[in-house]
Amino acid sequence: MASSRNISLVILICIFASSSYQATSLISRDHIMSMKHEKWMSQYNRYYESKEEKVKRFKIFKYNVDYIESFNRVGTHTYQLGINQFADMTSEEFLAKYTGNSMPSFQSSPVAPFKYENVKDVPPSLDWREKNAVTPVQSQGPCGSCWAFSAVAAIEGIVQIKSGVLTSLSEQQIIDCDGAFDGCQGGRMEKAFEFVERNGGLASDTDYPYQTMEGVCSTNTPSSLAASITGIGGVPQNNETAMLMAVANQPISVGIDPSLFQFYRSGVLTGECGTNRTHAITAVGYGTSEDGIKFWLFKNSWGPWWGEDGYIRIQRDVDVVEGMCGLAMDLTYPIA
Ligand SMILES: *[C@@H]1O[C@H](CO)[C@@H](O)[C@H](O)[C@H]1NC(C)=O
Ligand SMILES: *[C@@H]1O[C@H](CO)[C@@H](O)[C@H](O)[C@H]1NC(C)=O
């Protein structure tokens, strides 16, 4: 009698112990994720307005972290993802807030055809940063101003190449003053170039700093316009050979499909990508990776903590003429 009672007690204890073990492991997985979320929140200074918002953001964070970790566990990708400042946003929210290139329309400004005779030398690899033609990476923040950042990086490049002086120039002056309906709602690079040409120059970032929102055009015209351009050029579409010659000549503004960009951390982006070019970046070089993949080097405007210190490398010379993510479809540059 006594012994059978003991057995049933042992069984009960075992069941209890094992179910409590399972519960603990579930709780601790969520607990670990929740600690990760808290740590991430303090790292990126994120606060949520309400408990409901936090619960919602935690769910998205967990989904994204699971996706990023399982992507990185596959050993065969040519690039890696990272848990960055965009980890609590869905892909739709992210694209809506952090991109902002309008597709070129028939109203686009006329651009001068690309002058191949300008291209003196096309080396096998090139990095305009090494030639001091690229300013530090900035963050556009939640404002669809990528088009202004893309254009300004190209202007900074050609001005440095012509004059030897590298100055960080003002995106904000373009956003506030170009008189178009764009600003944080998205815009076009050639409209930015057109404004700088019409305005007789562009202020420095120091004189007209970035605000992450569209403001009133400052009537206090900055005393010195730091840089000017004389025209706008376009590279023939869908031809990475022509693009190579253009980038060998100067940094180029590029419209691109950003759908694979949100969690990019490092490596050369390869694989399936669309051509919905809602984002704009600046081509500042090209080369071949250690494992033999030809790439383009682009400066982005999502801060230095995104990608490779703010830059992304994307596969070059793919077998579709539009280029990876449509990178050969929408190429413009300023003429100094
Ligand atoms: C692409 O551009 C290169 C360089 O100008 C040119 O030689 C080539 O014919 C172009 N290819 C096509 C398909 O237009
Ligand atoms: C292009 O991307 C935008 C922003 O993410 C989206 O609203 C739109 O539906 C996309 N268009 C196509 C054709 O996929």
Q: 77: exposed, middle or buried (C-beta count within 10 Å: 0-12, 13-18, 19+)?
A: middle
For residue 9, what are its two tokens? 């007690």
CA-nearest residue, atom 10 of ligand 2: 276
Question: Count of alpha carbons within 13 Å of 288, Cβ hemisphere only?
Answer: 5
CA angle, 149 as apex, 143 and 155 as ends, to 5°?
160
CA-nearest residue, atom 5 of ligand 1: 242
CA-nearest residue, atom 7 of ligand 2: 96
H or E, element range at 266: strand 264-269
CA–CA distance, 116 with 285 (Å, rounded to integer): 18
Q: Is residue 95 in contact with ligand 2, taking CB distance under 6 Å? A: yes
pTM above 0.85, yes or no: yes
Chain position carrying tokens 């109203």: 107
Pick the more confident residue, 101 or 324.
324
Q: Is the confidence at residue 106, as pLDDT, over 50?
A: no
pLDDT for the residue 181: 62
End-to-end CA gap in the chain = 99
Hey, which of 239, 245, 317, 319 would you mutate to test ligand 1's pocket, going by the most ligand atoms within 8 Å of its Cβ? 239
Q: Is residue 28 in contact with ligand 1, taking CB distance under 6 Å? A: no
pLDDT for the residue 219: 67
Pick the more confident residue, 52 or 97.
52
Domain residues of the chain, as ranges? 4-76, 91-335
CA–CA distance, 148 with 50 (Å, rounded to integer): 34
Pick the more confident residue, 53 or 19.
53
Mean pLDDT value of segment 206-223: 83
In total, the chain counts a number of residues equal to 336
Q: Is the confidence at residue 147, as pLDDT, over 80?
A: yes
Q: Could you tell me the pLDDT band of residue 260, with boundaries at 50, 70 and 90? A: very high
Which positions are annotated as active-site residues? 146, 279, 300
Q: 280: exposed, middle or buried (C-beta count within 10 Å: 0-12, 13-18, 19+)?
A: buried
Asked if residues 104 and 188 have their Cβ atoms less than 8 Å apart, the reply is yes
Hey, which of 89, 256, 262, 276 would you mutate to test ligand 2's pocket, going by the most ligand atoms within 8 Å of its Cβ? 276
Nearest-ligand number for the alpha carbon of 90: 2
Q: Is residue 241 in contact with ligand 1, taking CB distance under 6 Å? A: yes
Contact residues for 326 (Cβ-Cβ < 8 A; gap 6+): 255, 256, 257, 273, 274, 275, 276, 277
Mean pLDDT value of segment 303-312: 97
Share of the chain above pLDDT 70, in %: 87
Chain position carrying tokens 């069941």: 15
Asked if residues 160 and 166 have their Cβ atoms less than 8 Å apart, the reply is yes
Q: Is the confidence at residue 12, as pLDDT, over 70?
A: no
Considering only 152-161, 222-231, 265-274, which range has the smallest mean pLDDT? 222-231
pLDDT for the residue 19: 45
Pick the more confident residue, 125 or 222.
125
Cα 91 to chain centroid distance, Å, stands at 13
CA–CA distance, 231 with 111 (Å, rounded to integer): 8
Residue type, 269: L
Q: Is the confidence at residue 11, as pLDDT, over 90?
A: no
Contact residues for 130 (Cβ-Cβ < 8 A; gap 6+): none
Mean pLDDT value of segment 303-315: 97
Q: Is residue 256 in contact with ligand 2, taking CB distance under 6 Å? A: no
- Alpha-carbon dihedral of residues 202, 203, 205, 206, nearest 10 degrees? 170
Q: Could you tell me the pLDDT band of residue 221, with boundaries at 50, 70 and 90? A: low
Mean pLDDT value of segment 53-63: 97
Pick the more confident residue, 152 or 121.
152
Asked if residues 193 and 332 have their Cβ atoms less than 8 Å apart, the reply is yes
Q: What is the pLDDT of residues 156-167, one digit of tens each?
A: 999 999 999 999
Answer CATH for 91-335 from 2.40.50.100, 3.90.1310.10, 3.40.50.970, 3.90.70.10: 3.90.70.10
Q: Could you tell me the pLDDT band of residue 250, with boundaries at 50, 70 and 90? A: very high
State the CB neighbour count (10 A cutoff) for residue 49: 7
Considering only 1-5, 179-183, 213-217, 261-265, which range has the smallest mean pLDDT? 1-5
Q: Could you tell me the pLDDT band of residue 109, with boundaries at 50, 70 and 90? A: low
Q: Is residue 115 in contact with ligand 1, taking CB distance under 6 Å? A: no
For residue 290, what are its two tokens? 């250690």
pLDDT for the residue 183: 83
Chain position carrying tokens 């057109």: 194
Hey, which of 115, 241, 321 would you mutate to test ligand 1's pocket, going by the most ligand atoms within 8 Å of its Cβ? 241
Pick the more confident residue, 30 or 268.
268
- β-strands 79-81, 252-256 pairing: unpaired
Contact residues for 112 (Cβ-Cβ < 8 A; gap 6+): 231, 232, 233, 234, 335
Contact residues for 209 (Cβ-Cβ < 8 A; gap 6+): 170, 172
pLDDT for the residue 8: 44
Chain position carrying tokens 């900035």: 138
Left if phi > 0, otherwise alpha if psi is -120 to 50, otherwise beta: which for 220? beta
